[in-house]
Amino acid sequence: MKKAILLPIMLWLTASAPLALAAPEELHVGGPPNAARLTYQTLEEGRLLVSVIDAQEKPLLGLNHEHFSIRRGLKTAKILSVEPLETSKEVALNIVLVVDNSASMQHRKAIAPLSTALEAFYRTLRPIDTVSAIVFDERDTIAVDGRSLRAKVLQTNDVGRLRGFLKENLERGLTEGTYLHDAITVGLDLARNMPANSNKFLVVFSDGEDINSSVNQNDVKKIAEEITGLSVFAVDYMPQADMNPFLKDFSTSHGGRTWKAAAATELLPVFEAFSSILLHRYVVAYRFLAPPSGALAFASRQLTIEEVTTIDSAPLLNHIYFATGQSELSDRYRLFENQNLTGGFDEKNLKGAMEKYCHVLNVIGRRLQVHSAATIRLVGCNSDTGVEKGRSDLSRSRAEAVRAYLRYVWGIDPQRMTIEHRDLPAAPSANRTPEGQAENQRVEIYSEDAAIMDTVNSAYVQKVCDTGQLRIVPEIQSETEIADWQLKLLCGGREVKVMQGRGALPAEWTIPLENALLEEIASCGSVCARMLAADNEANAFDTGESAALPVNFIQRTEQTAQIQGYKVKEQYALILFDYDSAAIQSRNQVIAQRIIARMNEVPDAMVAIVGHTDSIGEEAYNVKLSERRSQAVRQVMAGATASAADRLYVSGVGPHAPLYDNSLPEGRSLNRTVTVTLEYLQKQ
């Protein structure tokens, strides 16, 4: 295939490649900035024969791989080599040379100048090139498509034979008629029968317009359109001053050009010009970048999941947060529409601190129903900055929204709920940060009755894992950047987790093993990972299920049968640390005493004390703060029982491994905590 391209060539890129790829597109070949015209022929997949012409219609010499670019749609090819055609020993030229040998050549005294000009053409030929020379012939004919055409042919790669053939026909084989279309048709028939992926150059020298051929211009054009890889050049030596329209159109439409020779003396420079263009081409080898390759690997060799009886004690976070400038209750809270829907609510069915917090208003509503003499105090606050600056009315509206929910949904007498309002809370978060401002936009709930503000306790069987997260490592090689990727975690062929992104792959993916995901995975004998991706060249890649991680699931019934008992984990959290504080407040003291009592009741329990912080502030400072918090709890625990010191494991992780979402104010508040976990074997 051959294409003519005017430079500069506009190439385009996209920011990313879709996972579904389009059908292959045509090649777009670019050349150096000073190129005025570039044509190419496809020799085979991965190799082109390229001609690059400057504004003076001369071939550009000395080009290398840095001067060329090749694209197909979104794909960029890597240029492997650029070799001048004149030095190539592999790519032969297939030249069909049509020479007008009508008698007018003798009348115009052009035979000797033409013979001299042809020597310039002979000098460009290499032993591997093949020339099919065609001249007019009035004695014999050649049959093409059922027509008898006035022409004769010599096919050779011997310059001597070629020179002799043309000399004989220009001196003693002159014809009275002009059979230009016949001779061109014979040449096209020869080109048509060459291999489809071979280069084909038709060179026409004409002394006059066609008069006597049995085929017309349209016949010639029709045959030429069927031939792939054809380039046409012409030398117009006709008496007319203007370029012959047929030759000009014919050569241009097939990626070539026509030269006008007005006098015999101009034949030599014209033949030198087209011979130079014919020879001074480049064999450009290329390949399109390969798709990414490789596989995925799990960082661990096995996943162990076991059922554990969990006794979960989560302190009640007594803050209700609001959006900036708003006093409506957020849809993050689980709210009932009316009192009829509250009948089945039981806080003992709630699992985990975040689920318990989302139901905080329902927990308080139910407790106020049970403890009919208890009262609460609602303190509305604002961030006292921006649109909330000095908005005590907004603070009051927030408190009234909380009271209205408890009144109309839980039926609590409004006389039992007093309202206060202020700007910043009494113990505000850092108001200089957006996170602190969001935390200060709240209603604080207080009660003198300890039962209202007590911890939210529940017990349930949950699945726990020997690791908190799955780590999947991409072992992927790519010749260009990844544009889009999608990671799938599969369990028995079923997708249980999907992650996706754009740009470079991470060093590893980490997937938190939360309760819902553990439930899914526990039912599988193994989990697999699969990645689909596309690079910036629109190459698609699919690892398949290239990684499999065995899952060892230990059910509670199995534990009981094997070791006459089952594992129990008791979780306690002391969350009411003020912002940037390690002081244990009075409510936390109550929880601490309960933990001490349980430690005395279960002397074999191992106790882990882990301090946490939110993500606000410097990392190193927060790690130290979490250590101070955990050490404060340790001192209380160790001082309560003589045997406690040997069973306590104390650490502070700061903002690392957050328990809750730091993007939410309640998540940050819950992360300002020390968790205390007792693990032991409950005997049957």
CATH number at residue 367: 3.30.1330.60
Average pLDDT over residues 386-394: 96
11 backbone dihedrals φ, ψ, rounded to 5°: -110, 150
Q: Whole-model pTM above 0.85? A: no
- Indicate if the pLDDT at residue 8 is higher than 80: no
pLDDT band with cut points at 50, 70 and 90 for residue 6: very low
**616-636 pLDDT per residue, tens:** 889 999 999 999 998 888 888
Of 606, 557, 559, 595, give the one whose Cα is nearest residue 674. 595
**470 and 585: one domain?**
no
- Express each pLDDT in 46-104 by its tens digit: 999 999 999 998 999 999 999 999 998 878 899 999 999 988 888 999 999 999 999 99
In whole angstroms, give the CA distance from residue 76 to residue 288. 6
Please give the pLDDT value at position 680: 81
Domain that residue 385 falls in: 316-454
Q: Which residues of 537-547 are buried (b: 16+ CB within 10 A; e: fewer)?
A: bbbbbebebbb
Collapsing DSSP to helix, strand or coil, 146 comes out as coil
* Range with top average pLDDT, 439-443, 511-515, 607-611: 439-443
User: How far apart, in whole angstroms, are the C-alpha atoms of residue 660 and residue 679?
Assistant: 22
Same domain, 589 and 606: yes
For residues 29 and 48, the answer to whether their CB atoms sit within 8 Å is: yes
Residue range 107-150, pLDDT digits in tens: 999 999 999 999 999 999 999 999 999 999 999 999 999 999 99
- Both 120 and 78 in one domain: the answer is no
Strands 75-84 and 69-72: antiparallel
pLDDT value of position 683: 63
Q: Residue 560's closest CA among 419, 383, 683? A: 683
Is 556 a residue whose pLDDT tops 50? yes
Residue at 203 is within a domain: yes
Instruction: Report residue 596's pLDDT band, with 50, 70 and 90 as the boundaries.
Output: confident
Domain membership flag for residue 450:
yes
pLDDT score recorded for residue 575? 61
Measured between alpha carbons, how far is 622 from 652 in angstroms, rounded to an integer?
A: 9
Amino acid of residue 635: Q
* Cα–Cα distance for residue pair 451/415, rounded to 1 Å: 19
Do 79 and 108 lie in one domain? The reply is no
Let me know: does 79 contact 30? Beta carbons within 8 Å.
no
Cα(442)–Cα(425) distance, integer angstroms = 8
* CA atoms within 13 Å, Cβ hemisphere of 302: 6
- Tell whether the model's pLDDT for residue 44 goes beyond 50: yes
Among 454, 477, 493, the domain boundary falls at 454
Of the two residues 467 and 609, the one the predictor is more confident about is 609
Contact 2, 231 (CB under 8 A): yes
Going by C-alpha positions, the residue among 420, 340, 416 that lies closest to residue 371 is 416
For residue 190, what are the contacts with CB-CB under 8 A and spacing of at least 6? 96, 132, 134, 153, 155
Show Cβ contacts of residue 151 under 8 Å, excluding neighbours closer than 6 positions: 134, 135, 136, 137, 141, 142, 179, 182, 183, 186
Q: Provide the number of structural domains found in the chain.
A: 5
Residue 288 lies in a domain: no
* pLDDT value for 468: 77
Position 23 pLDDT exceeds 50: no
Asked if 682 contacts 642 with a C-beta cutoff of 8 angstroms, the reply is no
Residues 257-277, mean pLDDT to the nearest whole number: 92
pLDDT over 80 at 658, yes or no? yes
Q: Quick one: how many helices (H) and strands (E) in the chain?
A: 16, 33
Instruction: Pick left, alpha or beta for residue 657 (phi over 0 → left; psi -120 to 50 → alpha; otherwise beta).
Output: left
With beta carbons less than 8 A apart as the criterion, state whether 407 and 414 touch. Answer: yes
Q: What percent of the chain has pLDDT over 90?
A: 62
Pairing of strands 376-380, 442-446: antiparallel
CATH of the domain at 127: 3.40.50.410
Tell me: do 502 and 592 sit in the same domain: no
Query: Dihedral of CA 167/173/176/182: which sign?
Result: negative
Claim to verify: residue 178 and residue 266 sit in the same structural domain: yes
The reply to whether 142 and 271 lie within a common domain is: yes
561 pLDDT higher than 50: no
Residue 17 reports pLDDT greater than 50: no
Q: Is 287 contained in some domain?
A: no
Which pLDDT band, with edges at 50, 70 and 90, does 594 fall under? Answer: confident
Q: Which of 224, 230, 201, 196 is nearest to 3 (CA)?
A: 230
507: domain CATH number? 2.60.40.10
Average pLDDT over residues 582-598: 80
**197 pLDDT more than 90:** no
Whether residue 285 is contained in a domain is answered as: no
Task: Give Cα 360 distance to the centre of its chain.
Answer: 42
Residue 364 pLDDT: 97
Please state, in angstroms and as integers, the Cα–Cα distance from residue 465 to each residue in 469, 513, 518, 551, following that order. 9, 8, 8, 10
Cis peptide preceding 127, ω within 30 of 0: no
Q: Are 131 and 152 in the same domain?
A: yes
DSSP 8-class letter at 151: -
Nearest to 543 by CA among 554, 528, 556: 528
Asked whether residue 173 is domain-assigned, the answer is yes
Residue 312's DSSP bridge partners are 458, 571
- The answer on 248 and 111 residing in a single domain is yes
Q: pLDDT value at position 682?
A: 72
Last residue of a domain, one of 554, 579, 614: 554
Written as one letter, the residue type at 321 is Y
Cα–Cα nearest to 247, from 198, 278, 207, 199: 207
Q: Residue 576: what pLDDT?
A: 64
User: What's the pLDDT at 274?
Assistant: 86
Mean pLDDT of 413-419: 97
| Confidence label for 684 from pLDDT (cuts 50, 70 and 90) | low
Q: Does the pLDDT of residue 21 top 60, yes or no?
A: no
Residue 176 DSSP symbol: S
Question: Among 258-272, 466-480, 581-595, whose mean pLDDT is lowest?
Answer: 581-595
CA 583 to chain centre: 48
pLDDT at 528: 93
Give the model's pLDDT for residue 546.
74
Q: Which two tokens stand for residue 185?
A: 């048709």
Q: Which amino acid is at 172?
A: R
Whether the predicted pLDDT of 578 surpasses 90? no
* 60 touches 53 (CB < 8 A): yes
Count of alpha carbons within 13 Å of 406, Cβ hemisphere only? Answer: 30
What is the pLDDT confidence band of residue 643, given thresholds at 50, 70 and 90?
low
Amino acid at 560: T
- Give the integer Cα–Cα distance in Å for 288 and 393: 67
Asked if residue 101 belongs to a domain, the reply is: yes
pLDDT confidence of residue 645: 66
The per-residue pLDDT for 75 is 84
Mean pLDDT, to the nearest integer, of 18-34?
70
Helix axes 267-279, 111-124, angle to 10 degrees: 20
| DSSP run (H or E) holding 501 | strand 494-502
520 φ, ψ (degrees, to nearest 5)? -65, -50
| Average pLDDT of the residues of the chain | 88
Q: Name the token pair of 128.
A: 């591997």
* Of the residues 420, 454, 488, the one at which a domain ends: 454
* DSSP code at position 292: P
* Residue 310 is assigned to a structural domain of this protein: no
Instruction: Identify the pLDDT of residue 84.
Output: 93
Task: Select the more confidently predicted residue: 446 or 644.
Answer: 446
CB 129 within 8 A of CB 207: no
pLDDT interval class at 640 (50, 70, 90)? low
pLDDT value of residue 564: 42
Distance from the Cα of residue 89 to its chain's centroid: 43
Question: Is the pLDDT confidence value at 662 over 60?
Answer: yes
Label the pairing between strands 565-574 and 303-314.
Answer: parallel
- Alpha carbon distance 583, 628 (integer Å): 9
